[in-house]
Structure 1
C-alpha cells in the first residue's frame, strides 16, 4: 500500500503481552515471528515501548525492520500509521506481530497506563495473546487470565500461551482452568524448552553481537512450532479489523532540505556491534530530508565514509567494546578533528560515551569534555526535554519527548554547556567547537524517536555543509602511523621493564604475563569475563559453608558419573597445575618424554622434582601432528606427556593415534585441558580402557573460574591412587569442588556444548581473516589459534593496544609465532584491522 491507497486496509495482526516482565513474551513473540516466516509468510514485526534490543531479534526473525509503537515518543496519532508503515514497507506483509512491554496494563507512571501494551492494542485494535509463566502456579493462573481478559472492554484477548510447565500433567491442569474461564489456550511450553536468549546489564544481548543468534532463532522457531498452535493463532489474527489509517510516510512529514539537482550530503551513521540502537525512522527521515545515509563501524572502519558532512551516533554498548573502539586510532583522530572543525554531530547515549574523553578508563574520541564509567544503578524512564540553546537540531526551546536507558555515569567538566533541560535538570552537551554561532555537537543520554519530532531531521540536514567537514580520510591514518612507529620503537624497552621481555625460565612464562590493563586480552584462553549466573549463584551459596573443611566426595562422584567412571578412577585437583605436580612427585621415570610444542607446566613440574626430561618436537610442516618418525623418537620412554588438543598448536590428535602410545611399563599422560571446547569431545580418551593412562582436565577456562583453580585427573585406578597419596589434605577448596559438581550437571554440559559450537564459528572467523591477510595458521580445535605473523609483529600489536601470547617460550617455536585467543567476531575484526596496518609496513621494511 502507498500513501495514496484507500483507508481501511486489511492487516491480520496479534499483540503478544504478559501479566508482567519475565514471563517470556520476547521469546514467544520472536518464536511466533520466526515460525510464521518459516511458513513463507511476510511478517511485519513491531514493539511496544522504547526498546532497541528486542527489535534486533524481530528483524533477524522476519527480515524486516521492527517498528517501535510508543504513544509517548511519537504521539497517539502516529502509532497506527507507523504500524501500517511497517506492514507496507518495503512491501506488503501478510501478518503483523507486535511484542508488548512489561505487564499488559503497565505504562508511564502516573498516567493510568499511557503507552502500555493495552493502550497500543486499543489504538491499533489488535487482538491480544497473553504469555503466562506457570512455573510457580497451576489453576490460579485462570484468575490472572480472567482478570486481564475482562478488565478493559477495549481489549480482545484471543488466547493464552502457558510457559514453563513443569510436567505435562502440570500443563494440563493449568490449561483446563484457563479454558474454564472462556479463554482458549494456544500452547503449553515445557520448563526445559531452552527457549531463551542471553541477557546483559541493560537487557537482552543485541542480535548483532551474537554470532549464534541465527542458530538460537532457529531453535526458538522449532520450539514454537512444536508447542504453539499456529493454525489457531492465524484465524485470530485474521479477525482483526482493518487499519483505518494511512501509513506513516517520511516524505509527507519532512520536506527535502536540498535544492533540486544538488548532490545529497553524506550523513555517517554509526553501526556495527557497538552501535546497535537506532530507530529505522531516523534513517528514513534523514533520507527524506535529502541526505544520503552511509553506515560505518567505529570499531572496524579506519575512516569516516567518503564525503561525510554530518555524523549520527546512536545507542548501543560501547562499554562492552571500549578497547576495540579505543585502538582504532585513525578513526578516533579523524572524528576528533572533524568535530572540532564543526562537523554537525548528534550523539545519543552510547554515541556520547564514544565521543567522551574516556570510557571505563579507555581513551575515547575526546570531543566531549567528560569521562564515563559503569555505575551501580540503572537510569530508566520517559523524559520531556527542552533544548537549552540553538543547535543543529533546531532553535533553543525546541520540545521533544524521549527516554533514558543506561547504567553508565558521566563526569563532565564544570561549566560545559548543556543540551537539554529534562524536568528542570540540565543534561548532555551542546558544543560549538568551531565558533559557528550555534552548537554543532549535541551529545546526551536522551534517546529520541524522530518520527515524533521530524523537525529534528529537517534541521539537522539543513545544517549540513555542502562540502565534507570530515577532512581527508588519510589524516587519521597518517597520525596512526606516526604514533605506532613511536610506540613500536619504545615497546621492547618498556615491555622488558614492565613485564620482563627476558622472562627467565620460559617454562614458567604464561599468557597472563602478557596482559595489561590498557591492552585488549587475546593472550589468555578464558572464555568468559565472569562465570554464568547459575554458577556464580552456586559459589555464593557455597560461601556459607566455608567454615568447614572441604569434602571432595560429591565432586568426585559427580565427575565420575559425568564420564561413566568409577569414583576410584577420578581425583579432583587444584587446577591442572596440581595434577602435573602430583605426577612429578609420585613417579620416578627413568626416561620422561614431553611432546612439544606443548603446555610448559608439565615439564616445569618434572624438572622441579629433579627428573630429566627429553623433548620430542612435532613439526609445523606436519601441522604439528604425530607422525611415525616422532613416535619412533619417543622410543622406550616410560613416561610420555602430550596435549590433546595441544596448547599452543591447537592440534587435535586422533584417539586411535594416541592409544598405541600406551604400553606395559609406561605411563601416558594426556593433557585434555581444552577438550571441552571440542564439539562432542571427539578424540577424548575418556571413557575407555584407562590402563596405564592419566587424563588431565581443567574447568577454569570454559567456566571463567581461573581464580578458583578447578581441575581433575581421570585414569588408571592404581595410578590415580598413587597421585592421591601425594596430595596434601584439603588441597582442593570448597569453591573449586562446587564448580566441579555444578559443571558436571546435564544443563552445564548442554551449555558447554553450545559454547563449543559458538567457539567453532568464532574460530573460523579468525582463521578466515588471518588467511585473508596471508598469515599461516595451525590448529582448528581449540579456543586459540597459532599464527605465524612474523618477528616483531607481537610488539607492534602491543604498541597498538593488543596482547597476544608470544610463541617463542614454547619449545619448538620461534618469535615469528603467536597464539591468539578466540574471541567474538567483533573483537577479532579489530585485531584483523590492526594486523592489516602492521603487516604491510613490516613487509615493506623487510624488503627495503
Structure 2
C-alpha cells in the first residue's frame, strides 16, 4: 500500500483508490457494511476518506466517527455533476491526505431523482467518480435468487462497474457458502459474509437512524462492528478492489470565496449551532466560512448560556430539536439572547431544525420566538429534492436567486410561510424572510430547505459579506444584550405538587412520609420529567401493534393461560409459579391481603406502595431503615431474627436508591428472618446482567418475586406485571385476585415481551442505559453533588433542602425524597435519560447551585 495522498498541484492525474458501496434497495445493510469497512480499515492504520451519496446527514456522522475525518456528501443535484469528483478529491487530499475513499450509496443502486433516468443515484455518482461498486445484499431469505439479482444489477448499465459482493445477514456458514457459490458462478468475487447478528444496532426514529452524536455508546458500537467486519470481510480484497479505480484527472474543489474582514480587520465570528440537537450540516459549510476569513465557533443551544463572544452571524443547521424540545426550552437565558440579537439585525440563516428553534413554540414548548409561527410533529414525512427561488433580498443574496435543495422533516409550522416567504417553489411559498431591525433587506432567512453551498457559493459569499458588515457596524464586543433573569421563575403551569409549598420556599417537614405520593404527581406538561421512572415515552412500534391487535377480541373475557405459560417459559419455571397481575401495584395488594404472615418487616428506603398496601390490609408493619452512611446497602446482620418469621419486603434494585443487592445476600436475609420473602424486581430488567441477581428459580420455597413491564416498555397506562414464586403462596395470592383483573391487552403484552427477540431488545436497552447513567453520575459529581452508587435507571442524590423546588423553577421535575421512609427533604431521585436531557439538567442544576452559593456568600 502506498502512503496517504498528499496535496498536489492540480490539474493532473490523481491516483486515488476508491470504491462505492451500493445495494439493490434500502434496508440491505449498506450502512452496516460501509461503516464497518471504514472502521475496520481505520483500525488497521489506514486513513479513510468517507463519502455519502445523496443529502443524508446521519450516515456521514457515523462515517466521521468511524474514520476521524469529516463525512462528505456527494450529490449531483445539490452541487452539480461537474463538482462531484473534485469534491471527492478535495476530501481525500484534506487534513494530511488519505489512503483511500469509501463512498456509501443511497437507496437502491439505480434509484435517483424522480422523473429522471436515475440522476443523483448511487450508480450516477459511481460513474462520475469512475469507481468500482461493491454490492451489499441481504440474503436472509434467499440463496440462488441472490445471484439473479446480482446479475441484473451488474448488466443493467454497462457504464457501472459492479466489481464485488458482500453478503449480509447470512443464516449459517452453510447458507453463506451456498450463496457464495451461486454468485461466484457469475465471475464476481464475494468479499465477505456477515451473519445475522453482526450488524450495527442503531436505534431509529421518525426520520431514520439516530445521529451518532446523540448516542453515548456509538463509539463502542463501532469498535465492535469494526471487529466483526474484520472477521467476516476480506479487507485486503476490499483495498485491492478500491485500487482498481483508474486515475482521476480533476482539479480538487476549493471554496474560493472573496475574503471578508470585520471591525479593525478582525475575523468576524459566526456562531454555528451544534451539540446533540443540531447535528446536521454539510462539512463544506464550515469550509466556506473559514475560507472567507470568518472564525467558526460551535455552540450548543441546549447547554451554552450565551452566544460566543463577538458573534456577528448565526448559522442554525439541521437536527432534532423537536425530540429535545424540553431541554432546549429550559435554556431561557440563551433563548432570550438569541431573540434580542436577531431583533437587532444579526445575520441569521436557519435551515429545518434552525427554523424550528426560531419559532415561538415547538411541540407546545417556548422557543426563541423570532419567527412568528408554531411548530409541531405532523402525521406525514415531507421528503424530496426541491428547486426554489428567493422572494426578497436577504443575507443569502438578491431576490430571484435560484437554488437546488432538499427537504426532510416530519414537523410543520403554522403558518407554513410568513408574509414574506423565504422561498417560492413548486409547492408554493415556504419559510420566513424577516427584517426585524428594518435594515431594508431580510436579515433572517429561515426555512425547511437545506441548500448545499458548494452548489451555490453565492449564498456563502452573500452571508459572509453580511456577517462582516454587521461586525464592522457593531460597537459591541459581544453579541446583542445578554439577558439573564435575576431570579428563576416557574414556567406557566408548573404548579407545585400536592403537599409542596410554592417556589422558592422549601417544603415543610412532615412527621410521617406520604406513602401514596408517586413521581407522576411531580410532573407537569411544562416540566422536563425526571421524576417518573418509565423508560420510554411510548412502547416500541411492534409492541404498540400487539396492543392494537387485541381490540378485535375485547368482546371476550380475558384469558390469562397463554400469558402465564409464556412467562413461565421465559423464566424456566412451572406455570403454577406464575400469576399475571394488573401491574406491580395489584401484586402488592394481593400480597397484603393474602395473610402470608401476622406481621411485616419492610426494608426502607424503598418503593412505598407495598407498605401502603399492608396498612390498608391491617397488617402490622415494622420498618428497617438502611443507613445513608453505608450508601443504603443491606447489612443482613442488622436485621432481627425470630421463629415467627414476618413477611419481609425488599426491593432489588431498590427504588429509590438504585442499590442492587446480591442474590446470595437476599437468600441469607430469608434464612435469617424465617418468614416469607417478597422481592420487588420491577427494575431488574434494566440492569446489565441483572438476571444473575434475580431470586427467580425453579424452586422458590417461601419466596415471591414481583416483576413489572411498565418501566422498560413504556406501559404505565396499561398496567402489566406478574408474580413468580412458591406455588403455594402464588395460589393464595390468586384467591385474593378479582376475576379478569388483568386486561386482554396487558396479557398480550406479557406474551409479546416474553419472546427471545424481546429479551434481546430488553438487554440492548439496558446496555444503552448504562453509559447514560454514568454520564449523569459523572456530571452530578463534577458539581459536587453526592450520588448513591446505582445500578438502576435512576439515581438517588443529596441536593440539599430547597434545590428541588429551584429546579422546578428552571423547568425540571425530579422526585422528592422525603416521602420515602428513611430519607429527608435534602434527597431527590433523578431518572436516567438520554445525555442531551441530562446535560440540560446539569446546566440548570449548576446554575441553581451557583445561585445558592452566591446567596450564602
User: 1:497 deviation in Å?
Assistant: 8.9
- Aligned match for 1:146, one of 145, 151, 163: 151
In structure 2, the CA distance between the partners of 1:553 and 1:168, relative to structure 1 (3 Å rule), is farther
- Aligned match for 2:705, one of 695, 707, 710: 695
In structure 2, the CA distance between the partners of 1:182 and 1:493, relative to structure 1 (3 Å rule), is closer
1: CA distance between counterparts of 2:752 and 2:637? 43
Aligned-residue CA RMSD (Å): 2.6
In structure 2, the CA distance between the partners of 1:584 and 1:184, relative to structure 1 (3 Å rule), is same
State the Cα deviation string for residues 556-594 of structure 1 (Å, max 9, x = none): 233223222222222222211111111111125322111
2-11 or 449-458, which moves further after superposition? 2-11
808-817 or 636-645, which moves further after superposition? 636-645
**2:677 is paired with a residue of what secondary structure?**
strand
Q: Residue 673 of structure 1 aligns with which residue?
A: 682
User: 1:635 deviation in Å?
Assistant: 9.3
In structure 2, the CA distance between the partners of 1:183 and 1:765, relative to structure 1 (3 Å rule), is same
In structure 2, the CA distance between the partners of 1:488 and 1:334, relative to structure 1 (3 Å rule), is same
Q: Residue 82 of structure 1 aligns with which residue?
A: 87
Q: Are residues 1:788 and 2:798 paired?
A: yes
User: 1:728 deviation in Å?
Assistant: 2.2
Q: Are residues 1:278 and 2:286 paired?
A: no
Q: Residue 355 of structure 2 aligns with which residue?
A: 352
User: 1:548 deviation in Å?
Assistant: 3.0
Q: Residue 755 of structure 1 aligns with which residue?
A: 765
Q: How is 1:4-43 mapped onto 2 (pairs within 5 angstroms)?
A: 4-5=9-10, 7-43=12-48
User: 1:277 deviation in Å?
Assistant: 0.4
State the Cα deviation string for residues 33-81 of structure 1 (Å, max 9, x = none): 1111121111111000011011011111111111100011101111001
Q: Do the aligned partners of 2:53 and 2:125 also contact (CA within 8 Å) in 1?
A: yes
1: CA distance between counterparts of 2:558 and 2:684? 27
Q: How is 1:383-398 mapped onto 2 (pairs within 5 angstroms)?
A: 383-398=386-401
**1:373 is paired with a residue of what secondary structure?**
strand
User: 1:133 deviation in Å?
Assistant: 2.1
- Aligned match for 2:122, one of 117, 134, 139: 117
Q: Do the aligned partners of 1:450 and 1:456 also contact (CA within 8 Å) in 2?
A: yes
User: 1:475 deviation in Å?
Assistant: 8.2
Q: Residue 600 of structure 1 aligns with which residue?
A: 608
In structure 2, the CA distance between the partners of 1:171 and 1:432, relative to structure 1 (3 Å rule), is same
**2:322 is paired with a residue of what secondary structure?**
coil
**1:814 is paired with a residue of what secondary structure?**
coil
- Aligned match for 1:805, one of 789, 793, 815: 815
User: 1:677 deviation in Å?
Assistant: 1.6
Q: How is 1:214-363 mapped onto 2 (pairs within 5 angstroms)?
A: 214-250=219-255, 253-258=256-261, 262-363=265-366
Q: How is 1:389-428 mapped onto 2 (pairs within 5 angstroms)?
A: 389-412=392-415, 416-423=419-426, 425-428=428-431
787-796 or 415-424, which moves further after superposition? 415-424
Q: Do the aligned partners of 1:304 and 1:470 also contact (CA within 8 Å) in 2?
A: no
Q: Residue 3 of structure 2 aligns with which residue?
A: none
Q: Are residues 1:96 and 2:94 paired?
A: no
Q: Do the aligned partners of 1:394 and 1:459 also contact (CA within 8 Å) in 2?
A: yes
Q: How is 1:372-521 mapped onto 2 (pairs within 5 angstroms)?
A: 372-412=375-415, 416-423=419-426, 425-464=428-467, 465-466=470-471, 479-484=484-489, 506-521=514-529
**1:140 is paired with a residue of what secondary structure?**
helix
User: 1:219 deviation in Å?
Assistant: 2.6
Q: Are residues 1:640 and 2:648 paired?
A: yes
- Aligned match for 2:545, one of 528, 537, 546: 537
1: CA distance between counterparts of 2:491 and 2:180? 70
2: CA distance between counterparts of 1:116 and 1:699? 45
State the Cα deviation string for residues 365-420 of structure 1 (Å, max 9, x = none): 00011111111111111111211111111111222211111111111288621111
Q: Do the aligned partners of 1:307 and 1:467 also contact (CA within 8 Å) in 2?
A: no
Q: Do the aligned partners of 2:7 and 2:97 also contact (CA within 8 Å) in 1?
A: no
2: CA distance between counterparts of 1:468 and 1:616? 70
Q: Residue 107 of structure 1 aligns with which residue?
A: 112
- Aligned match for 1:171, one of 171, 176, 180: 176
1: CA distance between counterparts of 2:746 and 2:789? 30
User: 1:173 deviation in Å?
Assistant: 3.4
2: CA distance between counterparts of 1:471 and 1:543? 63
Q: Are residues 1:731 and 2:734 paired?
A: no
User: 1:228 deviation in Å?
Assistant: 2.2
Q: Do the aligned partners of 2:571 and 2:696 also contact (CA within 8 Å) in 1?
A: yes
**1:401 is paired with a residue of what secondary structure?**
strand
Q: Residue 47 of structure 1 aligns with which residue?
A: 52
Q: Are residues 1:63 and 2:68 paired?
A: yes
1: CA distance between counterparts of 2:852 and 2:404? 53
Q: Residue 658 of structure 2 aligns with which residue?
A: 650
Q: Residue 566 of structure 1 aligns with which residue?
A: 574
1: CA distance between counterparts of 2:488 and 2:669? 52
Q: Are residues 1:364 and 2:357 paired?
A: no
2: CA distance between counterparts of 1:489 and 1:552? 41
In structure 2, the CA distance between the partners of 1:237 and 1:6, relative to structure 1 (3 Å rule), is same
2: CA distance between counterparts of 1:732 and 1:523? 27
Unaligned runs of 5+ in 1: none
Q: Residue 577 of structure 1 aligns with which residue?
A: 585
Q: Residue 840 of structure 2 aligns with which residue?
A: 830
**1:818 is paired with a residue of what secondary structure?**
strand
User: 1:142 deviation in Å?
Assistant: 2.1
Q: Residue 525 of structure 1 aligns with which residue?
A: 533
1: CA distance between counterparts of 2:384 and 2:846? 43
State the Cα deviation string for residues 651-698 of structure 1 (Å, max 9, x = none): 222222221221485111111111112211143222375221111111
Unaligned runs of 5+ in 2: 1-5
User: 1:311 deviation in Å?
Assistant: 0.3
**1:320 is paired with a residue of what secondary structure?**
helix
TM-score w.r.t. length of structure 2: 0.94
608-617 or 362-371, which moves further after superposition? 608-617
Count of residues in correspondence between the two structures: 844
In structure 2, the CA distance between the partners of 1:627 and 1:118, relative to structure 1 (3 Å rule), is same
User: 1:167 deviation in Å?
Assistant: 4.0
2: CA distance between counterparts of 1:634 and 1:78? 83
2: CA distance between counterparts of 1:29 and 1:621? 51
State the Cα deviation string for residues 427-485 of structure 1 (Å, max 9, x = none): 11111111111111111111011111112111111112225969687987753234538
**1:583 is paired with a residue of what secondary structure?**
helix
User: 1:633 deviation in Å?
Assistant: 8.1
In structure 2, the CA distance between the partners of 1:804 and 1:51, relative to structure 1 (3 Å rule), is same
1: CA distance between counterparts of 2:549 and 2:165? 36
State the Cα deviation string for residues 184-210 of structure 1 (Å, max 9, x = none): 222233334343322111111111111
In structure 2, the CA distance between the partners of 1:825 and 1:238, relative to structure 1 (3 Å rule), is same
User: 1:749 deviation in Å?
Assistant: 2.0
1: CA distance between counterparts of 2:694 and 2:813? 31
User: 1:755 deviation in Å?
Assistant: 1.9
User: 1:347 deviation in Å?
Assistant: 0.3
1: CA distance between counterparts of 2:343 and 2:776? 36
User: 1:527 deviation in Å?
Assistant: 1.2
